[in-house]
């Protein structure tokens, strides 16, 4: 097992919005790695993408990351080198950036949601199957929350709890629900929602997060559950039990979370950039590197297959001028879902040819089968920013690239 902590799940990292943080990462693996801070809009050289923003951290080496998180919310961290294998082993941690002002919860509870691919003997099995990588991806066999199967949390009766769901799985797109209590989704992918959403039918894809305000029931006999609704039936992922005499709190006591300082795109003057997510072009030979190739290419962005984690020579998919607004038109011509993730800048959902979209600001948008979505951003963070599907088998078999800002 690989871990960011000697025993159990990776530690929840807690930083403060606007406060400089330094993290020394020592690589105690037998292979190279890097750490990427998913969703943080920080300087490019701190983004943790091998060859694009830094050299891999070799076994035994230490790399110092230092940055000031501009946004508050729920984020996560993971390697970006031999990504499928290192994440499959367990290197996926939750990262919290706290608001400058206390939002008034009685408790803050991160829930790191992911599968592990284990055989009947509890040992790891093959991380992927090529035929799955060419489709929806290879699912794990054991679903967990904070590395436990169906854990039970005791919460103060009648209290207000901030659940921070982070889907750090490499494959699974799931529909989640809080059953048995009053609960509201107050932020998605670290950005507060202008109007809270009901905590049911909440679709979360790999890389996505949701902050849920939970009002714990008053009575100890009640039980609250986090449920994953799968095509083959509902599965309880975690349970929450009220304890003690009720605090009698009310969800309406919570002040709305302050929006993050993400620049508003100028839609009138925005340039449109087209991206097509499709199959891999024919005759593309897999390459390998020390950051791990899966040995296949199945996917592409704008007909180019970049098998992830590789050194160049690859050209940026697009060059964006610093400070300018852009509309990215994301077209999925495949029958599979792709959670499309951009590093370094957040973007706003504008519209889709398939459904109504809330005006969300995000770093990871789930592009459904055959969907075309338009999103907008201000190119305000200079550098080469990875742009890829967060189903890691897709990322590592071609559905990856980068945008150059500046």
Q: Is 36 in the site for ligand C2O (CB under 6 A)?
A: yes
Q: Which is nearer to ligand C2O, 236 or 302 (CB)?
A: 302
Closer residue to Cu ion, CB minimum distance, 192 or 398: 398
Rounded Cα distance between 388 and 395, Å, is 6
Minimum CB separation from ligand C2O for residue 154, in Å? 32
The Cα 278–Cα 298 span in angstroms is 9
* Smallest gap from residue 45 Cβ to Cu ion (A): 15
In this complex, which beta carbon is closest to ligand C2O, that of residue 75 or of residue 298?
A: 75
Residue 80 interaction partner, one of Cu ion, ligand C2O, none, beta carbon < 5-8 Å per kind? ligand C2O
Q: Stretches 151-159, 320-328, 339-347, 369-377: which one binds Cu ion (CB under 5 A)?
A: 339-347
Cis status of the peptide bond prior to 313, with omega within 30 of 0: yes
- Per CB under 5 A, does 389 bind Cu ion? yes
Identify the residue among 41, 78, 209, 394 touching Cu ion (CB under 5 A). Answer: 394
Binding partner at 388 among ligand C2O, Cu ion, none, C-beta below 5 to 8 Å by kind = ligand C2O
Report the alpha-carbon distance of residue 159 to residue 249 in Å, rounded: 6
Q: Where are the beta strands (DSSP E) in 343-389?
A: 347-352, 361-362, 364-367, 372-378, 383-389
Closest approach of Cu ion to the CB of residue 363, in Å: 7
Considering only CA atoms, which of 300, 362, 297 is closest in space to residue 331? 300
- Measuring CA to CA, which residue among 30, 9, 41, 19 is closest to residue 383? 41
Comparing CB distances to ligand C2O, the nearer of 341 and 394 is: 341
Rounded to whole angstroms, the Cα distance separating 169 from 141 reads: 12
Question: Does 137 help bind ligand C2O (rule: CB under 6 A)?
Answer: no
C-alpha span between 84 and 87 (Å, rounded) = 5
How many residues sit in the footprint of ligand C2O (CB under 6 A)? 10
Nearer to ligand C2O, 36 or 338 (CB): 36
From Cu ion, ligand C2O, none, interface partner of 331 (C-beta below 5 to 8 A by class): none
120: β partners: none
Contact 185, 212 (CB under 8 A): yes
Nearer to Cu ion, 77 or 105 (CB): 77
Q: Rounded to an integer, what is the distance from CA 260 to the centroid of its chain?
A: 17
> b vs e for 285-318, b when ≥16 Cβ sit within 10 Å of the residue's Cβ?
eeeebebbbbebbbbbbeebbbbbbbeeeeeebb
The SS3 assignment for 268 reads: helix
Cβ–Cβ contacts within 10 Å for residue 335, how many? 10
**Looking at beta carbons only, is 140 or 158 nearer to Cu ion?**
140
Which residue among 341, 348, 394, 396 contacts ligand C2O (CB under 6 A)? Answer: 341
- Supply the minimum distance, in Å, between the C-beta of residue 393 and Cu ion: 8
Instruction: Considering only residues 160 through 219, tell me which ones interact with ligand C2O, judged by CB under 6 A.
Output: 207
Which runs of E-coded beta strand occur in 10-87? Answer: 13-16, 21-26, 35-38, 62-67, 73-79
> What residue 394 binds from Cu ion, ligand C2O, none (CB within 5 to 8 A, per partner kind)?
Cu ion
| Binding span for ligand C2O by CB under 6 A among 4-12, 21-29, 193-201, 384-392 | 384-392
- Binder of ligand C2O out of 38, 172, 209, 225 (CB under 6 A): 38
Residues 61-120 that bind ligand C2O (CB under 6 A): 78, 80
Chain positions contacting ligand C2O, by CB under 6 A: 36, 38, 78, 80, 207, 341, 343, 386, 388, 390
């Amino acid at each position: 097992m690989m871990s960011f902590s000697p025993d159990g799940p990776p530690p929840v990292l807690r930083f403060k919005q606007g406060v400089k943080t330094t993290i020394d990462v020592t690589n105690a693996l037998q292979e190279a790695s890097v750490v990427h801070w998913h969703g943080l809009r920080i300087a490019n050289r701190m983004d943790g993408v091998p060859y694009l923003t830094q050299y891999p951290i070799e076994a035994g080496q230490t790399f110092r990351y230092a940055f000031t998180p501009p946004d508050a919310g729920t984020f996560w961290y993971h390697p970006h080198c031999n990504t499928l294998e290192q994440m499959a082993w367990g290197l996926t941690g939750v990262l919290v950036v706290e608001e400058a002002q206390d939002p008034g919860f009685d408790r803050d509870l991160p829930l790191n949601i992911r599968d592990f691919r284990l055989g009947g003997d509890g040992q790891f099995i093959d991380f992927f199957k090529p035929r799955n990588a060419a489709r929806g991806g290879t699912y794990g066999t054991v679903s967990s929350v904070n590395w436990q199967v169906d854990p039970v949390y005791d919460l103060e009766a009648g209290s207000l709890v901030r659940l921070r769901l982070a889907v750090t799985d490499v494959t699974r797109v799931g529909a989640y629900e809080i059953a048995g209590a009053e609960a509201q989704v107050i932020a998605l992918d670290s950005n507060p929602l202008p109007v809270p959403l009901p905590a049911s039918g909440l679709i979360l894809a790999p890389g996505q997060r949701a902050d849920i305000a939970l009002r714990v029931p008053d009575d100890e006999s009640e039980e609250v559950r986090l449920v994953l609704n799968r095509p083959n039936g509902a599965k309880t992922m975690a349970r929450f039990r009220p304890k003690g005499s009720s605090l009698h709190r009310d969800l309406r006591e919570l002040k709305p979370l302050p929006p993050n300082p993400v620049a508003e795109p100028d839609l009138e003057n925005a340039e449109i950039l087209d991206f097509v997510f499709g199959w891999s072009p024919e005759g593309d030979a897999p390459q390998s590197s020390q950051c791990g190739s899966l040995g296949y290419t199945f996917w592409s962005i704008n007909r180019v297959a970049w098998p992830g984690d590789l050194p160049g020579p690859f050209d940026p998919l697009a060059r964006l001028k610093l400070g300018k607004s852009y509309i990215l038109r994301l077209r999925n011509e495949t029958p599979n879902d792709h959670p499309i993730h951009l590093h370094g800048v957040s973007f706003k959902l504008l519209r889709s040819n398939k459904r109504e979209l809330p005006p969300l600001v995000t770093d990871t948008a789930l592009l459904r089968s055959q969907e075309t979505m338009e999103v907008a951003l201000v190119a305000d963070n200079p550098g080469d920013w990875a742009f890829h599907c967060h189903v890691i088998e897709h990322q590592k078999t071609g559905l990856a690239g980068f945008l150059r800002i500046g």
